[in-house]
């Protein structure tokens, strides 16, 4: 009987032959803690970049739920990768929306999918593609994006994922022009991402994600967070090791300091990166932004010292929240972010501790009953308009027919503004007229289970 290592060699090397009629793999089986000791990793492959051996793909990933697609099929479901189906582009390739109907594959349910076509620049591109197939083909969790299948045909490398309706956290947090993420939604997203990382770190053979950032956290229709893009993921240290040493890779602004300085990588490196995401959720600012004032361009360097002081914390919390957040929750979240961003990796909490700290924040009820601001698009600015109102037209005017100065917001009844918690004077000119909704009642009205996890079937 061939060894597992040999079976995986046939998978890797088989990618380089033309596979036009490939059967789907066996019935899906969930990877559990009991079986993860047998999980195959990149380190089990002695030469995954070689093209000298060719074998059949159908023997690979036995027990997974992955489908093998042809290029022709993926062109069909994406309308030949039409621009109208273009979703975005990351570091590893362009992503397109695809539609699988009930006639596509007998065993495959009709659904909307996301198809990522990787840019292959040498061996590294293939390595990243292979890492995603290996990790997501074996690891299944509600907070990891579901890999449906892949295509490995000639020079083509494509991946097919479940479609995430809300896009990624980066888009919602930094590029949402009409509305900002409410406080509880931010906490929910943080909990989901934390659970995904905790799952990876607690495997018998731990996985270091190595690229946690806002753009890699995908959101479904109910804002459940799922980690995506496992191209940089790597197996963590064995039981008798404290760390692994590897080439520094990742995204500037998120990488842990000890990893940047020495190449020493542990699960605590992921914790630091997650701390950066928490800081982005608190402030509504990107980890690095050259457009900000010089001292504020590096978010961690500027904001971390302010997390310890509750009075200073109020200065950095995302102003778009309009004070509609839990005071106690903000303080606890700031403390957690401060711990995750410690310069010393041993001082950081584990991701399991992070999850246990975050979950109670969803139950805090000190969020004030008030409005949540939805910014309606408008070209009209918030300037003062002088109106000469005749006494017959408006009995509220004085008898001398003096000019009555009103703002556009006053005319439309939008002048309901909540005082700051600290009773400090806040002069904050509006640039656009605003429609006002309740943060909590908004979701009750919509009838969603936004803040309640779905029950497993």
Of the residues 102, 211, 240, 270, which is catalytic? 211
Phi–psi pair at 269, nearest 5 degrees: -65, -40
Going through 316-390 in order, the beta strands assigned E by DSSP cover 371-375, 384-387
DSSP result, 32-94: -TTTGGG---GGG-S-TT--S----GGGSSTT---EEPPHHHHHHHTTTT-GGGEEEE-SSEE
User: How far from each other are the two terminal CA atoms of the chain, in whole angstroms?
Assistant: 37
User: Tokens 């079986």 identify what position?
Assistant: 35
Closest CA to 408 of 375, 381, 378, 371: 381
Q: Are 272 and 341 in contact (CB under 8 A)?
A: yes
Give me 328's structure tokens: 């106690």
345 assigned to active site = no
Does the annotation place 312 within a ligand binding site? no
3-state secondary structure of 362: helix
Distance CA 74, CA 79 (A): 8
Distance CA 247, CA 260 (A): 9
Phi–psi pair at 236, nearest 5 degrees: -75, 180
Q: Are strands 234-235 and 207-208 parallel, antiparallel or unpaired?
A: antiparallel
Q: Are 154 and 18 in contact (CB under 8 A)?
A: yes
Q: Are 198 and 397 in contact (CB under 8 A)?
A: no
Give CA 139 to chain center in angstroms: 18
Mind telling me the catalytic residues?
211
Binding positions for ATP = 116
Binding positions = 116
């Amino acid at each position: 009987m061939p060894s597992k290592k040999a079976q995986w060699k046939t998978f890797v090397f088989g990618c380089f032959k033309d596979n036009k009629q490939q059967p789907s793999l066996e019935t899906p089986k969930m990877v559990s803690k009991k079986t993860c000791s047998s999980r195959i990793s990149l380190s089990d492959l002695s030469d995954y970049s070689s093209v000298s051996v060719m074998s059949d793909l159908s023997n690979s990933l036995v027990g997974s739920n992955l489908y093998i697609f042809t290029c022709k099929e993926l062109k069909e479901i994406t309308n030949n990768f039409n621009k109208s189906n273009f979703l975005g582009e990351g570091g590893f390739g362009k992503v397109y929306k695809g539609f699988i109907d009930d006639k596509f594959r007998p065993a495959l349910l009709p659904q909307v999918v996301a198809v990522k076509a990787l840019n292959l620049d040498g061996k590294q591109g293939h390595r990243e593609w292979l890492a995603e197939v290996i990790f997501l083909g074996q690891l299944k969790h509600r907070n990891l994006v579901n890999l449906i299948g892949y295509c490995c045909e000639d020079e083509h490398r494509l991946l097919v994922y479940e479609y995430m309706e809300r896009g990624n956290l980066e888009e919602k947090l930094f590029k949402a022009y009409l509305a900002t993420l409410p406080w509880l939604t931010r906490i929910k997203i943080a909990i989901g991402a934390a659970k995904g990382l905790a799952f990876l770190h607690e495997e018998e053979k731990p996985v270091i994600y190595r690229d946690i950032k806002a753009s890699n956290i995908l959101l479904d229709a109910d804002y459940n967070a799922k980690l995506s893009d496992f191209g940089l993921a790597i197996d963590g240290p064995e039981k008798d090791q404290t760390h692994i040493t590897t080439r520094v890779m990742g995204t500037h602004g998120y990488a842990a300091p000890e990893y940047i300085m020495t190449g020493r990588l542990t699960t605590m490196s992921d914790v630091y990166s997650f701390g950066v995401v928490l800081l982005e959720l608190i402030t509504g600012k990107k980890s690095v932004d050259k457009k900000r004032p010089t001292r504020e361009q590096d978010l961690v360097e500027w904001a971390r010292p302010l997390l310890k002081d509750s009075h200073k914390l109020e200065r950095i919390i995302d102003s778009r929240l309009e004070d509609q957040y839990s005071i106690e929750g903000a303080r606890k979240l700031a403390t957690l972010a401060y711990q995750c961003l410690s310069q010393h990796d041993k001082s950081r909490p584990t991701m399991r501790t992070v999850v246990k700290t975050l979950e109670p924040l969803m139950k805090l009820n000190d969020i004030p009953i008030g409005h949540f601001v939805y910014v309606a698009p408008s070209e009209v600015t918030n300037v003062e308009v002088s109106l000469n109102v005749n006494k017959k037209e408006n009995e509220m005017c004085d008898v001398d027919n003096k000019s009555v100065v009103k703002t556009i917001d006053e005319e439309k009844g939008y002048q309901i503004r909540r005082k700051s918690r600290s009773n400090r004077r806040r002069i904050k000119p509006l640039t656009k007229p605003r429609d006002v909704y309740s943060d909590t009642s908004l979701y009750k009205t919509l009838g969603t289970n936004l803040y309640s996890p779905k029950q497993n079937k």
